Amino acid sequence: TQLLEQSPQFLSIQEGENLTVYCNSSSVFSSLQWYRQEPGEGPVLLVTVVTGGEVKKLKRLTFQFGDARKDSSLHITAAQPGDTGLYLCAGAAGMEDSGNTPLVFGKGTRLSVIA
Amino acid sequence: NAGVTQTPKFRVLKTGQSMTLLCAQDMNHEYMYWYRQDPGMGLRLIHYSVGEGTTAKGEVPDGYNVSRLKKQNFLLGLESAAPSQTSVYFCASTLAGGPYEQYFGPGTRLTVT
C-alpha cells in the first residue's frame, strides 16, 4: 500500500514568515499534486509536478519534486493570512501501473497565518 | 462550465434512513470518485468509477453503494445510515490518461443522528 506522510500536521505562523511543508513516501510516484482546501469548500489543485527534481513556482509558493519521485515540498515565502488553509499532497501511481489506480492522498498540513 | 456539482449541500438523517448523494460534472471526465473527509483522517476513497457502467471499491466502501449510469453523473447511496457515516463527502473527477489532476465538488455535509 502506498502512503504519503505530510509534515507538520499543524503550523501556525505570523504574517511575513517563511515556511516549508513536506510530503514523503517510500513509493515512487509518476506525478505528485498539491491542493489547498479552505473551510467549507472542496480541495483546489495548486500544481502538478511530474519530473524528478522539478521545481515549479506559483507566486510566493515554490513546489519541488524529489529526484527519486518519492517526496515533495511546498515552500511559502512571506506568508499572508490568505494562505491559511489545509494543504494536501496527492500522488499518482508509478509508471508501471495501469493508470487506473486512484490518487494517494496525504492527511494534510493545516496552516494558519496570523496577521 | 459549472465543473463538479454536488447535491444536497447539507443533510441530516436518522439512523437507518437511506439517501442518495448526486455528483455531476460537465467536463467530460472519464474518472469519478467519492471521498469522505473526517477530522484527522484526511480524504478517504469510498468508491470510484473509470467509466460509464463500471465502479470499483476504494479504501472504505462498507455501507455505501454507487452507480454510474451516465458518464456525467456518479451517485453515492447509503442504504441504512449509521452515526459512523457522519462526515463531509466530496466528489471528484479527472481525465483518463494522467496526470490525474482531480477537480472536486463543494462537498455534502451529512449528519446521522
Query: A41 pLDDT band (50/70/90 cuts)?
Result: very high
Nearest-neighbour CA in chain B from A77: distance (Å): 25
pLDDT at A97 over 70: no
A2 Cβ under 8 Å from any chain B Cβ: no
pLDDT tens-digit map of B76-106:
999 999 999 999 999 999 988 777 889 999 9
Q: Write the DSSP symbol of residue A89.
A: E
Measure B20 CA to nearest chain A CA, in Å: 19
pLDDT value of residue A96: 46
Closest CA to B103 of B75, B72, B76: B72
pLDDT range class, residue A94, cuts 50, 70, 90? low
User: What are A74's three cell numbers?
Assistant: 511546498
**Residue B44 CA, distance from chain mean position:** 11
Interface contact B10, partner A, CB < 8 A: no
Q: Distance from CA of residue B58 to its chain's centroid?
A: 11
Nearest by CB to B43, which of A48, A99, A105? A105
pLDDT of residue A54: 96
Closest partner residue to A105 among B42, B96, B103, by Cβ?
A: B42
β-sheet with A5-7: strand ranges across: A5-7, A19-24, A71-76, A61-65, A55-58
Answer yes or no: do A102 and B42 touch at CB < 8 A. no
* Nine-digit cell string for B106: 463543494
How does the average pLDDT of chain A come out, rounded? Answer: 91
Note the pLDDT tens digit of each residue in B3-28.
999 999 999 999 999 999 999 999 99
Q: At residue A26, does pLDDT exceed 70? A: yes
What residues contact A20, with CB distance under 8 A and at least 6 apart? Answer: A73, A74, A75, A76
* Cβ contact B43–A88 (<8 Å): yes
